[in-house]
Homo-oligomer: A and B are copies of this chain.
């Protein structure tokens, strides 16, 4: 695999060329009515890194690395804040060592060392966190050192159960490598977060990643059949079961635990047959805000009908236009169904009836297509390309000093209209105050019978050298509105360190108390990812 950029998204050499980047920036400069300049990307040699504060024990020499590229590459995740800090050459929080354990025994050995030597250990999958989940923030004073525990050398599918459609998989596998190993068996996990290329199974589970499905199987949670987790107190393995009612579900304590309770090393995952039938349509809702309200109602009706679309993605007028899927006035609802088993005409027909009943303009008849790419034509295809390329584009915008970020949430349908108005007002006000303008757009990434998961994107002219602080202010305003109006601080980006202010308000205090107690039982020295979800002990 090509070497990863240490400062931004993707492999070295991937993403837009400098010429393409200049084109993007020119377009945006025209929109903002202000010149934009592309800052140069950092080089490893420019960054002064302190020597590791703690020596590597001889027994771990083979797997501990202090190579600057690795230490820099493991300093941050991939949020706007992360890329901006990298462009500032600010790597003060770099880990002292990066560990690349080759098997579970070596994971245990690293945790033993961390516990003995009071070294903070940050489990690291693909490093695509956008919430400060893999960053050694504020740990220098309390720990002798920091090690980033990279699971990347444990990426094999170990066992396949075709009959039950499940596989035992090492946690360090990246999305494409996982699908490559499943494809010959006709199987797929069908979990496609935007970070798919550069995130791992273990990372998905530890952060309750949100994937491909717009309904039903939204988070990775439901795909987990059982887990194997290494903790400083020993190894825990849950039983492989299709369902159970035996006490609180053990896996659910670790799903979303963000590395604070243990290191997920393996999981049995529920798989699916690869889809053969596809049906996709775009439904248009003209009329600006009223169109968006109508499209929301359509999404609600479809989500409550028991049809379980694979896509039910509402793009507001701006998102639709940006993705080349709308004319700037109309909201677009992308509806799709996929199946490995049956044609989808009855499903799509009913979904489109429901969309029309809410005022949408939908194609008359959408036949099921068989084969791989049929469903990716037109509006859906345009949107999908934009989706996959967004992180590369975001890096270009960072270099241009543009504040470019997203935040996502979920809220019940009854509250949505007021919620959306309140969040939009709060964020637009913040944009005007802090950046003198900018755009806010919204889409639904997932829909549930009881509410949507709205995903907001902001784009604003930043003040060169101050864009990180500008974003922090905007984000604080957004979080305040999300929590005040009844949403969650995060639907699928996890909590990490960045979402703590919202999460601390949203999460019941006594649950935090129980979580801290559980952590003390499993990680008595408190070395595992201190600072995510709860305060370090």
Contact = CB atoms under 8 A, between A and B. Distances in A.
Interface of A: 161-166, 207-210, 218-219, 221, 225, 231, 233-250, 252-258, 261, 270, 272-273, 300, 304-308, 339-342, 345-347, 350, 410-414, 446, 448-453, 486-495, 499, 503, 506-511, 513-518, 520-522, 533
Contacts of A163: 300, 412-414
Number of copies of chain A assembled together: 2
B233 A490 contact: no
A82 to B, nearest CB: 19
B514 A305 contact: no
20 contacts: A164-B414, A219-B243, A219-B245, A238-B508, A238-B511, A241-B451, A242-B411, A243-B410, A246-B499, A247-B494, A250-B508, A252-B253, A270-B450, A304-B341, A306-B342, A307-B342, A513-B521, A514-B521, A517-B518, A517-B521
B516 A246 contact: no
Given A238-B508, A273-B304, A245 B490 contact: yes
A518 B412 CA distance: 30
A514 B522 contact: yes
Nearest to A304: B165
A237 B341 contact: no
B488 A244 contact: yes
Given A236-B508, A451-B242, A412 B166 contact: yes
A253 B514 contact: yes
A413 to B, nearest CB: 4
B510 A239 contact: no
Contacts of A305: 339, 341-342
Contact of A246 (B341, B450, B489): B489
A350 B347 CA distance: 13
A277 to B, nearest CB: 10
A346 B279 CA distance: 16
A179 to B, nearest CB: 18
Contacts of A489: 246
A242 B453 contact: yes
Contact of A492 (B240, B245, B508): B245
Contacts of A273: 304
Given A231-B510, A305-B342, A518-B518, A248 B253 contact: yes
A50 B240 CA distance: 46
Nearest to A339: B306
Given A163-B412, A245-B493, A345-B346, 18 more contacts: A163-B300, A164-B412, A165-B449, A225-B450, A234-B509, A239-B488, A245-B491, A246-B495, A246-B503, A247-B495, A248-B257, A249-B255, A270-B449, A272-B449, A304-B341, A306-B308, A306-B340, A342-B346
